Structure 1
Amino acid sequence: MAQQFEDKFNRKFYYLRLSVTDVCNFKCTYCLPDGYQPPGHKRPAFLTLPEIKRVVTAFADCGTSKVRITGGEPSLRKDFPQIIETVANTRGITKVATTTNGYRMTKQVDTWRQAGLTNINVSVDSLDPRMFHQITGENKFTEVMSGIDRAFEIGYEQVKVNVVLMKDLNAKELPAFLNWIKDRPIQLRFIELMQTGEMDELFNKHHVSGTDIRNQLIANGWILKARSQNDGPAQVFVHADYKGEIGLIMPYEKNFCESCNRLRVSAMGKLHLCLFGDHGVELRDLLQEDAQESALIERIQAQLQTKSVSHFLHDGNSGMTPHLASIGG
């Protein structure tokens, strides 16, 4: 194995978030309220299967054990099962996850599992079909919920459900969400609304602090669970009376970045050291057949030495990220 990916703050990177498309068919208010807008006239050329294989192999050779395949909506790619298989068959990768809006799960999750998908996150921003429609721009609540049921039917022991809580929209549904996971092995992940380049007004209007939710949970007997090496950034809470768990993702909390263990590669082949970084680093020239893996690893290692100790969200600086679909959330 090559040297472990590590930055100058001694953070090691076990987790790659790999975007395979920035196209999405939902119009979530906090991400793509006007729907997907393709850049310019030409259709973007997203990473090919051989390019995906090369980038994942390089990461695995430098200690990465978990890959999350993201978008946009990753299942919009016709070769999504082949992408899963390619990642799952890479030596050293033990966890292959995806984040999806879930609308194709009922029909396709069996195929994904057979291809090697070990973990699923589904975005469900409301348990009220009308509010779900209002937030996502799509009337697909029933399909998404039946997709989650299907995942359990075919053997997934846990499904993670992502919820962006927003004041005056779905924040009042917290009791309903808790009731939903009482007897279901769902890890409900409340994600704080994040300020991105195009979303200042929405953020100011709807932001809910994760700290308030955490205080409520602790007051009601929820207990913090220990993190694993390649876990994401959620603080996970468990309760003796609940089959489900609750994860809180609070990017505005002090020390949020101390445990950073993940890097991002965009669908266009750029390395992003942070979701809120101010630039991406071109890798695509080193993902071609005639390129040496050692040169790719060297470029990533060199860039890691420039990774900041923290994001600058507290200063209202979301870097170059226009919206969360642009580099896979």
Structure 2
Amino acid sequence: MAQQFEDRFHRKFYYLRLSVTDVCNFKCTYCLPHGYRPTNKPSTFLSLPEIERVIAAFSDCGTDKIRITGGEPSMRRDLPEIIHAAANRVSEVAMTTNGYRMARDVATWREAGLTRINVSVDSLDPRQFAQITGENRFAQVMAGIDQAFAVGFEQIKVNSVLLKDLNSQDLPKFLAWIKDRPIQLRFIELMQTGEMDSLFTKHHQSGVSIRNQLMAQGWQLKARKANDGPAQVFTHPDYLGEIGLIMPYEKGFCASCNRLRISALGKLHLCLFGDQGIDLRDYLQADNQKPELIEQIQQALQSKAQGHYLHLGDSGATPHLASIGG
């Protein structure tokens, strides 16, 4: 095994978020309110052999968790092959999806080697779900969650972007939903990006208010594993489900950073809210380029900042979350 990926602040990177497309078929208000507007041809996205080379390099350097992201990753026809390639190299293969095709395809994904799945559900009210996502697909997504359990997933993570005056007051409804279901419901603070300043001002709400409510009701913070994402996870003896809070504006959020990102165009992003990314595509054209690829990543890590600058209103070069997989 090559040297573990590590930056100058001695953070080790066990977790890769791998975007396979920036295409999405939803029009979420906080991400793509006007729908997907193509800036890249599908043929320019990483090919399966290029993806396999990315995965091999990261697994050789200590990565043991890969999350497949988009856009919406199920828009790629070769998604099962991508999942299989990751499962051959790492112990945990996760995916984030809008759930649009989950009822139909989740069994195939599981057979290919998917071990964990995250589904975006921003409201449990069908009308509000349609208002936020731009798609009247609530029943379809719920059927997908049921099917995921049916094919053997023991826990499903559900992502809900916390939006003031839209779903921020719905904690009791969400808690009732997970009381007897093994769902980890994750409230994600709305994050400012280049294309949604006014929406951020109108709908941003700190997750601290949710955390205070949970702790007042007896929820307890769960210990974090080395390859876990950034969520603070809470459990309660009376609930089968869990609550996760992702609060990027909280002090010290970046201290436990353990993940790197590769975009669908083959760029290494050291931070979701960093610069334009470092192009690795030239090092993905042949299997024998792996030493040079690893060297490029290790060098880039030495310039990784200690933290983001969201608290200063600086979201870097990220125009919207779909552009590099959230």
Asked if TM exceeds 0.5, the reply is yes
Structure 1: distance between partners of 2:78 and 2:138:
25
Structure 1 gap ranges (5+): none
AA of the residue aligned to 2:118: N
Q: Report the equivalent of 2:91.
A: 94
Unpaired runs of 5+ residues, structure 2, are none
Residue 26 of structure 1 is matched in structure 2 by 26
Partner of 2:262: 265
1:240-255 alignment runs, 5 A limit: 240-255=237-252
TM-score (norm 2): 0.99
Report the more deviating stretch, 43-52 or 305-314.
Answer: 43-52
Q: Please identify runs of 4+ aligned residues in structure 1 that moved more than 2 A.
A: none
Q: In structure 1, the residue corresponding to 2:323 is in which secondary structure?
A: helix
> Is residue 53–residue 287 contact of structure 2 (8 Å, CA) maintained in 1?
no
Identity %: 73
Q: Whole-Å Cα distance in 2 between the matches of residues 235 and 167 of structure 1? A: 20
Aligned match of 2:38: 38
SS at match of 1:63: coil
> For 1:125-140, what aligned pairs fall within 5 Å after superposition?
125-140=122-137
User: Among residues 157, 180, 188, which one is paired with 2:185 in the alignment?
Assistant: 188
Alpha-carbon separation, structure 2, partners of 1:295 and 1:242: 49
**Equivalent position of 1:65 in the other structure:** 64
Aligned with 1:172: secondary structure? Answer: coil
Q: CA deviation at 1:116?
A: 0.1
Task: Map 1:134-283; keep pairs closer than 5 Å.
Answer: 134-283=131-280
SS in 1 for 2:170: helix
Whole-angstrom CA distance in 2 between matches of 1:61 and 1:79: 24
Does 1:288 pair with 2:304?
Answer: no
SS in 1 for 2:17: strand
CA RMSD of aligned residues (A): 0.9
- Aligned pair count reads 326
Q: Deviations over 1:264-309 (max 9, x none)?
A: 0000000000000022000010000265211000000000000000
Tell whether the 8 Å contact from 2:18 to 2:66 is kept in structure 1 after alignment: yes
User: Secondary structure of the residue that 1:171 maps to in structure 2?
Assistant: coil
Name the CA distance, whole Å, in 2 between partners of 1:149 and 1:197.
Answer: 36
Per-residue displacement from partner, 1:151-181 (whole Å, max 9, x unpaired)?
1111110000000011111112111001000
In 2: Cα distance, 1:258 partner to 1:173 partner: 30
| Corresponding residue for residue 2 of structure 1 | 2
Determine if the alignment matches structure 1 residue 328 to structure 2 residue 301.
Answer: no
Query: Is 2:274–2:316's contact at 8 Å kept on the other side of the alignment?
Result: yes
Instruction: Letter of the 2:259 partner, please give it.
Output: R
